[in-house]
Structure 1
Amino acid sequence: MKIQAFRTLIVATAAVAALSVAACTKKTDEANTAAAEANTAAAAADSAQNAAATAANAAADASAAAGNAAVEAGNAATTTTTETTTTETAPAAH
């Protein structure tokens, strides 16, 4: 009887150990999936940050170009052109 009880205890202990390993493995898989998703989200955030920086640089370039164009337009509007016309008359007949 003692041997049968001992065997039952060993089998029960092995079953609990197997269930524990299975539960931990599932948690590890879930943790790995969550970590992979977090890495994907971090990469997407990094890409978005780079895109935002590129857009900011393009906006600054466009602003500078618009400022330069405004200065050029102002210079063209205030520049005056003078034209000199020379006319010659024929000498008088004697």
Structure 2
Amino acid sequence: MAENQPTAVTVEGIFEGYQGRRHGMLKALITELKKFFDLCDPAHVNLCLYSFPDGEWEVSKPADEIPSELPEPCLGINFSREGMSSKD
């Protein structure tokens, strides 16, 4: 019966999720930039950078269906990469 019950949403939980996602985004764009740049292959279209509450991140195609409570992902993080230096 506990499986079907919704989890309690707290201010602390929301803040921790936000803080973890923010950390994952910064980690991808600052400390793991080489890995991020390599994953943004211009041969693939509509790639998105996803960050998770545990601070991890991934680059993948957008999900087919997104829950209504989540914002739409920003598509095309790899469009401008072709002909650009990784430092830019």
TM range (shorter): under 0.3
> With structure 1 as the length reference, what TM-score do the two structures score?
0.26
Q: Which has the higher contact order (CA 8 A, sep 6+)?
A: 2
Larger Rg: 1
> With structure 2 as the length reference, what TM-score do the two structures score?
0.28
Instruction: Give the structure with the higher percent strand.
Output: 2
Instruction: Give the structure with the higher percent helix.
Output: 1
